[in-house]
Chain A
Amino acid sequence: MRSVLALLGPRLTQAALTAWLLASLCFAFVHALPGDTALRIAAARVGDDRVTAEVADRIRREEGLDRPLLQQYGTWLRRIATGDLGHSLVTRKPVWQEIAYHGRFTLGLGALGWLLSYLIALPLGIACGFRPGGWLDRITNGMAVALAAMPGFLVGIGLISVFALSLRWLPPAGFRTAGHMVLPALTLALGLAAFSVRIIRNAVVEVRSAFYMTFAQIRGRSAGQAFAHHGVRNAAIPVATFAALQFAYLVDGFVVVETLFAYPGLGELLVKALVARDVPVIMGAGLVIGLLYAAVNLAADLACVALDPRHDARRAA
């Protein structure tokens, strides 16, 4: 328990600092972009055809975009301190409401994609690890390299072409039914599985060649039994760490997949907010994604602590 607390304290501070830094960098970068922020927001509100200097000037005045940048940043910091993320300059809704609405979709898609990736990668990776160099290992390796090398949108377009446009089994875009989630989740899952299948395979190979596995077999366990009893938890530690690292890929993947499938998640929100220069949404999303990233990594570390057999041994002693 103490080790968990020792892990938590500094990590939470770190997480808050990282998130703040990320949001502040977002603020700096957005304002460093050329062009008039008020004009961009006007275009996002009323459409390109109706943008006039008068609309932009009104927005600049109303939203306080004519104030010095440091003052705008100070206002944001003060608001954050009270737990207020501000409101979107385009939709005028509170930022937390926007993030909660879009985050719900991303969470659903992310969980499904991540789960699906391990449904693919775990059996394949373990099977390959049992027979390294075998035909299954070679085929899986080839496919993993190909999938890892392909950008996400290409995999997505391929899946749309086959399953939505040619076979017509699934809808090509949208979010209304479970059927709508299959292709975007599969696009994410294939990208994730391409890496994790190799990590799982290598972890299994490594654990299986460890001395304690040989010892277990000498004691009369079959290869499968020995792996189930002594191998799984040891092999799971690098896999858990890697699974957390994949969260970064997921965030990256969301931006592409959500745009491609017209899926209203956080990635889509972020892209549109960037185009519209919707600064409060960009900073809010930066803050939340930063915190999520830290939380996922922390969860993985905690999982590793729980998985580590030595931890049990210490507790028993």
Chain B
Amino acid sequence: MTFSTMSRRLVLAAALTAPLVTHQASARQDEPVLRVVAPWEYTSNEPSDTGYILARMGVGETLVQVEPEGQLVGGVAANWTVSEDRLTWRFSLRPAATFHDGSPVTAQAVAASLKTAFAGESLSAVPLDGVSVDGSDVLIRTRTPFSVLPAFLCDYASIILAPSSYGPDGKVAKIVATGPYRIASIDGKTTLELERFEGYARQKPAIARARYTAVVNGDTRANIAVAGDADLVYTLAPTATARINAAGQTKVESLTIPRSRVLYFDSGLPQFSDVRVRRAVGMAVDRAGIARAILRHPDSAATQLLPSVLTGWHRGDLPAIAHDPAAARTLLDQAGWVAGADGIRSKDGVRLAAKLITLANRPELPVMASAIQAQLRQIGMDIAIEVGPGNSVPAAIKDGSMQFTLVSRTFVNVPEPIATLIPDFTRERSNWGSVRWSGRDAMRTLTNAYLVSFDAAEKDRLRGRMMRMLHEEIPAVPVSWTEHTVAVSSRLKNVAIDPYEMRYLIERMGWK
């Protein structure tokens, strides 16, 4: 009896202390820790999966980086040039740079890391011919001129890793990168402990230690911000802002970013094949009302597909889409859609009705879908809403059941919206965007011309033509832009929000 009591106690004591043991090992310095909380879990070391966490936290660097203002600057590369025939790009590396394990950042190591990245899907749009080494430079050769290559090299899947990162199977076993912070320890999927990389050749960060914690639940993140239990809390619901600011521990800052909430059509359906119907849908949606009442941010009402932070892509000469239900009804009348007894229009036996798929992973979307459903009913359109998980849109497009979707789409997976416009608007069936849009071939002509053009004026003209085409032919109705929100503690200074969501820029922050 005594023995069993003892062992029970031991088991109990072990069980109670087990979760506490791991963190003690890393709590070794007196320096304050910058506590970052965000929704995304560090599920694996694979850069194509979770490289964005490494890039945002300043652990991994890509060959090229983008500044919050939009200009491309050297990351692991110091600078780059392109050959006369526009096919060979030469990247010079930063002198004296080292990986986190102290080994030098050589052209061979960078080329090997890039080759692995190019084998994955996220860089598959690059017409890659080969990656090679010339002296201390890295050469990337494309089969056709590809003017946006530097922007594609900002993709987090291509963060540069040391040869010692890879296991015998060629997979990434541990992260040995080049950024201003390096990983001190990883605890499960939720916590990364970081320390300043003292061998960093560029400007050394002021903050010595940082901790990334993944908290998936949005309400829990808001609670952490209210309690002041973190220094930076990313991605907060619009409804939480007032509560967080009132508590006074952290203050919510926000910036409009190139992530748009968009209605996409299957333009091959008889309901949506006529541009007048799509335009009527655009005019029936009350963007200002949705932005004010649901998103709590009047400025987020979208006047065109991309917000003004993307200076080259937001076109000042495009008229804002008006909210005018009466004009929308007139357009539908002209297009031959006649209202039936129940108020829903039809034409040639086809009802003006569709299933609208929207996603549960962004809590504002189902609410917005309900508002849009009511607004479209005003012009005689019947919408049935289906709320699904994040992948229900690609699944529906693939199996041909997609009719109409409301999604939140980022246009800066790489800091060049062309990388999203091509898959969304130039294919018969995209993954996320338009389906069977008749303008896709004309759009592809423009995007192809853009990819091969190295002339700034020509590219600007092409941007103008592309955005005007999307604005006038409406394969997608922009509803709102997105506010990127972050709760910031009062002890931090030099906090900046990156509209490209590529970096948290903690290496530039400091304690007050």
Segment 210-227 of A: residues with Cβ below 8 Å from B = none
Segment 24-67 of A: residues with Cβ below 8 Å from B = 35-36, 39-40, 42-56, 58
Segment 168-198 of A: residues with Cβ below 8 Å from B = 168, 171-178, 181
Contact partner, B229, options A42, A48, A174, Cβ 8 Å: A174
* B361 lies within 8 A of A45 (CB): no
- B residues in contact with A175, CB < 8 Å: 19, 190
State the CA gap A46–B121 with chains docked (Å): 11
B115 within 8 A of A: no
- A residues in contact with B81, CB < 8 Å: none
**Whole-angstrom distance from the CB of A123 to the nearest CB of chain B?**
20
- B residues in contact with A40, CB < 8 Å: 389, 391
- A residues in contact with B247, CB < 8 Å: 165
**If the complex has contacts A53-B431, A108-B18, A262-B220, are A275 and B226 also in contact, measured as CB distance less than 8 A?**
no
Q: Which residue of B lies closest to A302 (CB)?
A: B4
Contact partner, B18, options A54, A104, A172, Cβ 8 Å: A104
- Residues 81-93 of A, flagged 1 when their CB comes within 8 A of B and 0 if not, give 0000000001111
Contact partner, B19, options A90, A92, A105, Cβ 8 Å: A105
A111 within 8 A of B: yes
B426 within 8 A of A: no
B374 within 8 A of A: no
B48 within 8 A of A: yes
**If the complex has contacts A51-B431, A164-B227, are A43 and B220 also in contact, measured as CB distance less than 8 A?**
no
* A43 lies within 8 A of B390 (CB): yes
- B residues in contact with A104, CB < 8 Å: 15, 18-19
* B227 lies within 8 A of A165 (CB): yes
* A49 lies within 8 A of B394 (CB): no
* Partner-contacting stretch, out of B93-101, B211-219, B266-274, B434-442: B211-219
- A residues in contact with B18, CB < 8 Å: 104-105, 107-108
* A47 lies within 8 A of B40 (CB): yes
* B121 lies within 8 A of A55 (CB): yes
**If the complex has contacts A90-B43, A90-B44, A172-B224, are A45 and B391 also in contact, measured as CB distance less than 8 A?**
no
**Whole-angstrom distance from the CB of B396 to the nearest CB of chain A?**
10
* B20 lies within 8 A of A177 (CB): yes
A235 within 8 A of B: no
- B residues in contact with A50, CB < 8 Å: 122, 413
B395 within 8 A of A: yes
* B15 lies within 8 A of A107 (CB): yes
Size of A's binding interface in residues, CB under 8 A: 54
Q: Which residue of A lies closest to B362 (CB)?
A: A48
- B residues in contact with A107, CB < 8 Å: 15, 18
Q: Which residue of A lies closest to B124 (CB)?
A: A54
**Whole-angstrom distance from the CB of B123 to the nearest CB of chain A?**
12
**Whole-angstrom distance from the CB of A84 to the nearest CB of chain B?**
18
**Whole-angstrom distance from the CB of A178 to the nearest CB of chain B?**
6
* A53 lies within 8 A of B398 (CB): yes
- B residues in contact with A259, CB < 8 Å: 216-217
B170 within 8 A of A: no
- Residues 366-396 of B, flagged 1 when their CB comes within 8 A of A and 0 if not, give 0000000000000000000000011110110
- A residues in contact with B398, CB < 8 Å: 53
State the CA gap A259–B220 with chains docked (Å): 9
**If the complex has contacts A105-B19, A111-B12, A111-B16, are A52 and B394 also in contact, measured as CB distance less than 8 A?**
yes
**If the complex has contacts A48-B391, A51-B431, are A112 and B16 also in contact, measured as CB distance less than 8 A?**
yes
Contact partner, B361, options A48, A58, A112, Cβ 8 Å: A48
Contact partner, B49, options A46, A48, A101, A168, Cβ 8 Å: A46
B355 within 8 A of A: no
Q: How large is the interface on B (under 10, 10 to 19, 20 to 34, 35 or more residues)?
A: 35 or more
* A45 lies within 8 A of B43 (CB): yes
Question: What's the dominant secondary structure at chain A's contact region?
Answer: helix
Contact partner, A51, options B213, B217, B228, B394, Cβ 8 Å: B394
- A residues in contact with B390, CB < 8 Å: 43, 48, 51
- B residues in contact with A55, CB < 8 Å: 121
A22 within 8 A of B: no
A298 within 8 A of B: no
* A108 lies within 8 A of B16 (CB): yes
* A261 lies within 8 A of B220 (CB): yes
Q: Which residue of A lies closest to B23 (CB)?
A: A176
* B227 lies within 8 A of A168 (CB): yes
A115 within 8 A of B: yes
- Residues 193-225 of B, flagged 1 when their CB comes within 8 A of A and 0 if not, give 000000000000000000001011100100110
Segment 89-122 of A: residues with Cβ below 8 Å from B = 90-93, 101-102, 104-105, 107-109, 111-112, 115
State the CA gap A179–B432 with chains docked (Å): 44
* B16 lies within 8 A of A91 (CB): no
State the CA gap A36–B398 with chains docked (Å): 11
* A171 lies within 8 A of B220 (CB): no
- A residues in contact with B213, CB < 8 Å: 174, 262
* A45 lies within 8 A of B44 (CB): yes
A126 within 8 A of B: no
- Residues 221-253 of A, flagged 1 when their CB comes within 8 A of B and 0 if not, give 000000000000000000000000000000000
* B190 lies within 8 A of A262 (CB): yes
State the CA gap A264–B220 with chains docked (Å): 14
B113 within 8 A of A: no
* B15 lies within 8 A of A49 (CB): no
State the CA gap A53–B17 with chains docked (Å): 45
State the CA gap A101–B41 with chains docked (Å): 15
B410 within 8 A of A: yes
- B residues in contact with A177, CB < 8 Å: 20, 23
* A172 lies within 8 A of B43 (CB): no
* A262 lies within 8 A of B121 (CB): no
- Residues 221-239 of B, flagged 1 when their CB comes within 8 A of A and 0 if not, give 0011011110000000000
**Whole-angstrom distance from the CB of A164 to the nearest CB of chain B?**
5
- A residues in contact with B347, CB < 8 Å: none
B349 within 8 A of A: no
- B residues in contact with A270, CB < 8 Å: none
* B227 lies within 8 A of A172 (CB): yes
A287 within 8 A of B: no
- B residues in contact with A15, CB < 8 Å: none
Contact partner, B394, options A53, A93, A172, Cβ 8 Å: A53
A199 within 8 A of B: no
Q: Closest 7 CB pairs between A and B?
A: A48-B390, A172-B223, A43-B391, A262-B215, A39-B391, A107-B15, A111-B15
Interface, chain B (partner A; CB < 8 A): 12, 15-20, 23, 40-41, 43-44, 46, 48-49, 52, 121-122, 124, 188-191, 213, 215-217, 220, 223-224, 226-229, 247, 359, 361, 389-392, 394-395, 398, 409-410, 413, 423, 431-432
Interface, chain A (partner B; CB < 8 A): 35-36, 39-40, 42-56, 58, 90-93, 101-102, 104-105, 107-109, 111-112, 115, 160, 164-165, 168, 171-178, 181, 259-262, 264, 272, 275
Q: List 7 A-B contacts (CB under 8 A).
A: A49-B432, A52-B394, A102-B188, A165-B223, A173-B215, A175-B19, A262-B217
Q: A92-B44, A105-B18, A264-B189 are in contact. List 13 more A-B contacts (CB 8 A).
A: A35-B391, A43-B390, A47-B52, A48-B391, A52-B423, A101-B188, A108-B18, A109-B19, A164-B227, A171-B224, A173-B215, A177-B20, A178-B20
